[in-house]
């Protein structure tokens, strides 16, 4: 049998179309998998940041409730969290001021930064603990573009 000249490139055209379709499908699958891996990685890092913030808030609450460390009459010079002694910055207004006393400190927890702010107020709630947890070290928080921050705030 003889083929006409018009039918000679049909097989090649079909092969190109099928391979283009398979290539497009493969690229789409790789893109979806790549985004899923990135999303799960961000979720994991977000949990690390949240757990760091929660741990920091627990430490501040422990020192406040058990040892009354954040008193306005004798502010602490340092606090021990995660087997680290870290300095505490205290801002205590005058005795007739209605402004809250503010205590701030930061430390690292397994390579993740925790920043804390403890407010002692004259009205209810008397104490506010605000903890920011990060998925990176304290020296990298401002410069790392992949640094995630999660916060917890406790009132009592």
Q: What would the pLDDT profile of 54-89 be if each residue is shown by its tens digit?
A: 999 999 999 999 999 998 788 899 999 999 999 999
Q: Please give the angle made by the CA atoms of 12, 17 and 21, to the nearest 5 degrees.
A: 145
Q: What is the SS3 assignment for 87?
A: strand
Asked whether the beta carbons of 154 and 133 are under 8 A apart, the reply is no
The model's confidence at residue 5, banded by pLDDT at 50, 70 and 90, is low
Instruction: Tell me the whole-structure pTM to 2 decimals.
Output: 0.78
- The range of the structural domain enclosing residue 54 comes to 5-155
In this predicted model, which residue has the larger pLDDT, 105 or 5?
A: 105
125 upstream amide cis, omega within 30 of 0: yes
How much is the pLDDT for 1? 56
Per residue in 112-156, pLDDT tens? 999 999 999 988 889 999 999 999 999 999 999 999 999 999 999
How many distinct structural domains can be found in the chain? 1
- Residue 98, pLDDT > 90, answer no
In degrees and rounded to multiples of 5, residue 90 shows phi and psi of -120, 135
């Amino acid at each position: 049998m003889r083929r006409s000249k018009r039918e000679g490139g049909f097989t090649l055209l079909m092969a190109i179309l099928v391979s283009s379709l398979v290539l497009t499908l493969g690229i789409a699958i790789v893109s979806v998998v790549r985004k899923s891996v990135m999303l799960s990685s961000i979720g994991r890092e977000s949990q690390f940041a949240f757990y760091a913030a929660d741990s920091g808030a627990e430490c501040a609450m422990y020192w406040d409730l058990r040892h009354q460390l954040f008193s306005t009459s004798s502010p602490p010079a340092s606090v021990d969290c995660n087997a680290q002694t870290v300095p505490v910055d205290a801002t205590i207004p005058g005795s007739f001021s209605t402004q809250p006393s503010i205590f701030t400190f930061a430390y690292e927890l397994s390579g993740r930064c925790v920043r804390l702010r403890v407010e002692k107020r004259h009205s209810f709630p008397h104490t506010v603990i605000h903890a920011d947890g990060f998925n990176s070290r304290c020296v990298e928080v401002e410069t790392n573009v992949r640094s995630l921050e999660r916060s917890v705030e406790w009132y009592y």
